């Protein structure tokens, strides 16, 4: 074992100084040597070497891109190199330095009786890309010096790169999140996780890994965590345009719900009360209809683009969505703008290659300017007018539907809400209805919400009136299903459908289809996009409230009746088993 003292000094800021220092420290320690590193940067000298340390040293390593006085090392063998080589070829640098003392450097080996520790990490800096990648390099170097396996996902200003796969996360022993921004950690449920800053990883990757081992905390695996993990797993199976569309819809929904409910609340004072300026109803309408609903399409477009191109897609997507609003292209125009902006931004991000020193210009200047200009010009001169005409024609058709056509549309939308209970088909029907709210078409929204409530409600009622067809566990879950159904959360039916899909799914599809058809046929309208039974208490939020409630009750009863008819009684010991 040798005693090494080192000096690192980068010519361009502090990053190279710290990266070289961490690489030398981690590798030397992994090889069994003692090392002390003095760091020189524009901020001054950090951790200066003491005379006693220099006197006891076997060799001096100077990794510097500028002149470092070596008078104090005159009695010691001195090895000079650059900071870049100290970072990229650390083991070779140490071997060559130690050769000056006549000592050979042992090769690092992994104990064949113990597999190397597997680490996954995320690095993320909000102000640019440099620190993100510096932290990544430092963590990789330090982990490699220990013989650990590491995979690092970067989330910089140019978006996410080298995304961690489900298999990598599953196999990981340790998760390190070095980020100065919010990072969603739901996918790491059940794993030992350590969180720190990007700066800590850049300046002391070895210390970060040590702290991660000692102080990492296993993320909770409560029921809520399990549900989140299942949703994340379901989302992970989505891909392509559908995934991008649902991402946009998920970010848009809070605006839709908040705006719709505020509009509904303005009706409490009278259906036309908002027309009186300076009143509370007028203020509620201004917030809900004048602000929230106007942001719906830009946010939809912005986050479709974000899903495709990550952060570079957000700016052109938001602006493209606003152009869709201004051009009267509505939600259809927003969808087109989102996909256009996303693919343009992603192509520009991948096609434009700049030196590492200029990479910081891409996310703040080059990509926003070029992608916004291209998206905006295409929206104004190519897309806007045709899509606006299509939306106007579709709105006129829906608002002029006769009873027969309305029933058919209700049957289709209602059935779609129950087919996969929150899956792609369900979301397609819901997105269609929500999009029509921007053009003051409210009947499909009423049909969709009513149809989405009946599957859990029908199952809950069936567990009460036909107990011999459900296990004790299912009967207990019936109460929760009722609450979810009343709240318009169709996913409450999933546990029942998963156990007996051949009987449950046909029953809930028929019940939902009948509910949707009745709602449309009875002329029910709904101005709020969510809320379930709680919205019904808001005056004027639902047109034909009594008939609307009737359509939900009828669909629930049909669902329950079909479940009783299709499901067979189960053995008595299973109904009693807990």
Where are the strands (E) in 438-574, listed by range? 525-526, 542-543
Contact indicator for 58, 46 with CB cutoff of 8 Å:
no
**CA gap 334, 324 in Å, rounded:** 6
Instruction: Indicate the burial class of 377 (C-beta count within 10 angstroms; 0-12, 13-18, 19 or more).
Output: exposed
**CA gap 334, 340 in Å, rounded:** 10
With a cut of 50, list the residues of the chain below it in pLDDT.
104-114, 221-231, 233-234, 237, 577-578
Contact indicator for 132, 123 with CB cutoff of 8 Å:
yes
What is the predicted pLDDT for the residue at 109? 38
> In this structure, what token pair is assigned to residue 77?
């063998």
Q: Look up tokens 């690095």; give the residue.
A: 123
**CA gap 196, 317 in Å, rounded:** 32
Domains of the chain plus CATH, in order, are 3-99 (3.40.50.2300), 118-231 (3.40.50.2300), 238-393 (no CATH), 403-576 (no CATH)
Cβ neighbours for 94, distance < 8 A, ≥ 6 positions apart = 4, 24, 27, 28, 31, 33, 61, 105
CA distances from 94 to 85, 103, 242, 280, 529 (A): 11, 11, 52, 74, 65
What is the predicted pLDDT for the residue at 509? 92
Query: 419: which DSSP letter?
Result: H
> In this structure, what token pair is assigned to residue 267?
């009706």
What is the predicted pLDDT for the residue at 419? 84
**CA gap 493, 499 in Å, rounded:** 11
Does residue 524 carry a catalytic annotation?
A: no
**CA gap 414, 425 in Å, rounded:** 11
Q: Look up tokens 């008078």; give the residue.
A: 71
The DSSP result for 462-480, as a single string, is HHHH-GGGS-HHHHHHHHH
Q: What is the pLDDT of residues 304-344, one digit of tens each?
A: 999 888 888 999 999 999 999 888 888 788 889 999 999 99
Tell me the three state secondary structure of residue 487. Answer: coil
Reading phi first (left if > 0) and then psi (alpha if -120 to 50, else beta), residue 30 is in alpha
What is the predicted pLDDT for the residue at 107? 40
CA distances from 159 to 15, 306, 314, 322, 443 (A): 21, 9, 10, 23, 40
What is the predicted pLDDT for the residue at 120? 92
Contact indicator for 122, 135 with CB cutoff of 8 Å:
no
Contact indicator for 91, 83 with CB cutoff of 8 Å:
no
Tell me how far apart the terminal alpha carbons of the chain are, to the nearest angstrom: 64
Catalytic residue among 6, 14, 87, 125: 125
What is the predicted pLDDT for the residue at 84? 79
Overall pTM > 0.85:
no
**CA gap 309, 159 in Å, rounded:** 7
Contact indicator for 199, 18 with CB cutoff of 8 Å:
no
Tell me the three state secondary structure of residue 420. Answer: coil
What is the predicted pLDDT for the residue at 250? 77
Reading phi first (left if > 0) and then psi (alpha if -120 to 50, else beta), residue 162 is in left
What does residue 37 show for φ and ψ, rounded to 5 degrees?
A: -120, 130
If one counts every other C-beta atom within 10 angstroms of the C-beta of residue 48, the result is: 12
Which helix (H) or strand (E) segment holds residue 481: the answer is helix 472-486
Q: What is the pLDDT of residues 399-409, one digit of tens each?
A: 666 667 888 88
Reading phi first (left if > 0) and then psi (alpha if -120 to 50, else beta), residue 532 is in left
> In this structure, what token pair is assigned to residue 385?
């007018």
Q: Look up tokens 């559908």; give the residue.
A: 242
What is the predicted pLDDT for the residue at 421? 76
**Three-class DSSP labels, 221-272:** CCHHHHHHHHHHHHHHCCCHHHHHHHHHHHHHHHHHHHHHHHHHHHHHHCCC
């Amino acid at each position: 074992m040798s005693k090494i003292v080192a000096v690192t000094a980068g010519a361009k800021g502090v990053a190279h100084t710290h990266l070289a220092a961490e690489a030398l420290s981690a590798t030397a320690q992994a090889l069994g040597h003692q090392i002390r590193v003095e760091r020189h940067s524009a901020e001054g000298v950090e951790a200066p070497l003491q005379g006693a340390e220099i006197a006891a040293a076997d060799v001096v390593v100077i990794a510097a891109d500028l002149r470092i006085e070596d008078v104090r090392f005159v009695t010691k063998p001195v090895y000079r190199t650059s900071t870049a080589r100290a970072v990229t070829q650390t083991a070779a640098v140490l071997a060559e330095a130690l050769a000056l003392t006549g000592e050979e450097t042992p090769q690092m080996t992994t104990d064949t009786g113990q597999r190397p520790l597997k680490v996954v990490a995320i690095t993320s800096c909000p102000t640019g890309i440099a620190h993100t990648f510096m932290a990544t390099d430092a963590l990789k170097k330090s982990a490699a010096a220990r013989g650990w396996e590491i995979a690092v996902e970067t989330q910089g200003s140019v978006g996410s790169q080298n995304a961690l796969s489900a298999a990598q996360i599953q196999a990981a022993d340790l998760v390190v999140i070095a980020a100065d921004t919010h990072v969603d950690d739901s996918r790491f449920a059940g794993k030992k996780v350590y969180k720190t800053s990007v700066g800590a990883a850049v300046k002391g990757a070895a210390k970060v890994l040590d702290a991660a081992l000692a102080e990492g905390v296993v993320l909770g695996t409560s029921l809520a965590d399990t549900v989140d993990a299942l949703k994340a797993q379901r989302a992970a199976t989505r891909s392509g345009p559908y995934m991008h569309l649902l991402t946009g819809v998920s970010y848009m929904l809070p605006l839709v719900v908040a705006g719709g409910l505020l509009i509904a609340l303005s009706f409490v004072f009278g259906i036309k009360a908002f027309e009186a300026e300076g009143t509370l109803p007028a203020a509620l309408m201004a917030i809900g209809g004048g602000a929230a609903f106007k942001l719906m399409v830009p946010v939809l477009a912005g986050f479709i683009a974000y899903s495709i191109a990550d952060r570079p897609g957000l700016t052109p997507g938001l602006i493209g969505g606003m152009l869709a609003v201004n051009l009267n292209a509505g939600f259809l125009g927003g969808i087109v703008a989102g996909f256009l902006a996303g693919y343009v931004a992603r192509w520009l991000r991948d096609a434009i290659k700049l030196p590492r020193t200029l990479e910081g210009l891409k996310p703040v200047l080059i990509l926003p300017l070029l992608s916004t200009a291209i998206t905006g010009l295409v929206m104004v001169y190519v897309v806007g007018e045709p899509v606006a005409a299509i939306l106007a024609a579709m709105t006129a058709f829906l608002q002029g539907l006769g009873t027969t056509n309305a029933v058919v549309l209700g049957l289709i939308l209602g059935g779609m809400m129950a087919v996969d209970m929150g899956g792609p088909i369900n979301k397609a029907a819901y997105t269609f209805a929500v999009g029509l709210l921007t053009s003051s078409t409210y009947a499909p929204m009423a049909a969709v919400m009513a149809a989405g409530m009946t599957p859990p409600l029908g199952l809950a009622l069936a567990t009460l009136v036909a107990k011999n067809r459900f296990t004790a566990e299912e009967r207990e879950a019936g109460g929760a299903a009722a609450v979810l159904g009343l709240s318009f959360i169709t996913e409450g039916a999933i546990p029942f459908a998963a156990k007996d899909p051949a009987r449950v799914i046909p029953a809930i599809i028929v019940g939902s289809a009948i509910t949707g058809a009745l709602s449309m046929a009875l002329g029910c309208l709904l101005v709020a996009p969510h809320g379930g039974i709680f919205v019904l208490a808001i005056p004027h939020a639902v047109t034909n409230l009594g008939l609307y409630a009737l359509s939900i009750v009828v669909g629930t009863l049909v669902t329950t009746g079909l479940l009783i008819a299709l499901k067979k009684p189960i053995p008595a010991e299973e109904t009693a088993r807990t």
